[in-house]
Amino acid sequence: MSTYKEIKRAADLVKHSLGPADIGVILGSGLGGFEEQLREAAEISYDEIPGFPRSTVAGHAGKFVAGMLGNKRVLVMSGRFHSYEGYGMNKVTLPVRVMRLLGIKTLIVTNAAGAVNTDFKPGDLMLIEDYINLSGRNPLRGKNLDRFGPRFPDMTYAYDRELRQITQEEAEKLGIDLKRGVYCWMNGPSFETPAEIRMARTLGADAVGMSTVPETIVARHSGIKVLGISSITNMAAGVLEAPINHEEVLAAAEIIKIPFRQLVSAVIARLPQEEIVEM
């Protein structure tokens, strides 16, 4: 478990390099490039931040980029960390704790996901309404960090209802057929088996992936509002007879980039401009 002192040390360096922010965006596999829209942008590599691990997965740039999008100060995490890379939950979620210390109140967390719902297809965007944690892990295990939040945080509305409503409205304006569903987190790095996908479907999952849930839990523990969006890059195992590979996931994510960028930018424009309050 990272201590408050360790988290603050990392946050202080990021703040010195990039300044504070009020909106955070975590980009999933293949979704890098969103940060190119930011004005007056500055960046810092994860390698330069004390205590940060390295992102080792293709499609993850491994840097924070901060700048202005409209009149909002946005911090983009271009590339995330995953537990399947060998990192503990404290390392996977460290960036979210850092974001909280920088004053971020709203987090948009995104991912590339496989479709469990057979009504979905590659190229769709899915608004995450809830999650199922089948990883057997929880990032809040261990001593509670009382400065961030309570021992037993509520997850009834893990994904903020108002943010979801705004996202649906903006998708309609843009003509995007935004799907809605439940995201299921599994450990990886192997793709799920057809039997596991049948189980996930029976439990109520619409999409499956290897990230997002730990960041969501820690953000909610810290009082950050969360919006989740999945880019459907493939049909999950067993839905089609074709095997799955990461290169195809990245290629599909590339196609989704334009509507994804339009939607996230429109949502950010709708968010109220709040005073940045650092912890």
Q: Which of 46, 55, 82, 200 is catalytic?
A: 82
Q: What is the mean pLDDT of residues 167-188?
A: 97
Active site residue 247: no
Q: For residue 205, what pLDDT is reported?
A: 98
Q: Which of 84, 144, 169, 248 is catalytic?
A: 84
Q: Torsion over CA of 85, 91, 92 and 98, rounded to 10 degrees?
A: -150
Model pTM score: 0.93
Q: Which of 234, 236, 237, 252 is catalytic?
A: 234
Q: What is the mean pLDDT of residues 73-91?
A: 91
CA distances (Å), origin 15, targets 20, 44, 211, 279: 6, 10, 26, 12
Q: For residue 32, what pLDDT is reported?
A: 77
Across the chain, mean pLDDT equals: 90
Q: For residue 59, what pLDDT is reported?
A: 52
Amino acid letter, 53: P
Q: For residue 93, what pLDDT is reported?
A: 96
CA distances (Å), origin 3, targets 8, 48, 97, 104, 142: 9, 19, 11, 19, 11
3: left (phi over 0), alpha (psi -120 to 50) or beta: beta
- Single out the residue of 204, 60, 62 nearest to residue 133, CA to CA: 204
Count Cβ atoms below 10 Å from residue 4 Cβ, excluding itself. 14
Q: Which residues contact 178 (CB under 8 A, 6 or more apart)?
A: 125, 126, 127, 167, 168, 171, 172, 263
For the chain, the C-alpha Rg in angstroms (whole number) is 17
Q: Which of 126, 171, 210, 235 is catalytic?
A: 210
Active site residue 112: yes
Q: For residue 198, what pLDDT is reported?
A: 94
Active site residue 246: yes
Q: Strand pairing of 63-69 and 39-45?
A: antiparallel
Active site residue 211: yes
Q: For residue 248, what pLDDT is reported?
A: 72
Between residues 243 and 192, the one the model is more confident about: 192
Q: Which of 11, 112, 207, 252 is catalytic?
A: 112
Between residues 81 and 139, the one the model is more confident about: 139
User: What's the rounded Cα separation, in Å, for the pair 34 and 79?
Assistant: 11
Taking only the tens place, the pLDDT of each residue in 216-227 is: 999 999 999 999
CATH class held by domain 4-260: alpha beta
Taking only the tens place, the pLDDT of each residue in 109-127 is: 999 899 999 999 999 999 9
**237 pLDDT exceeds 70?**
no
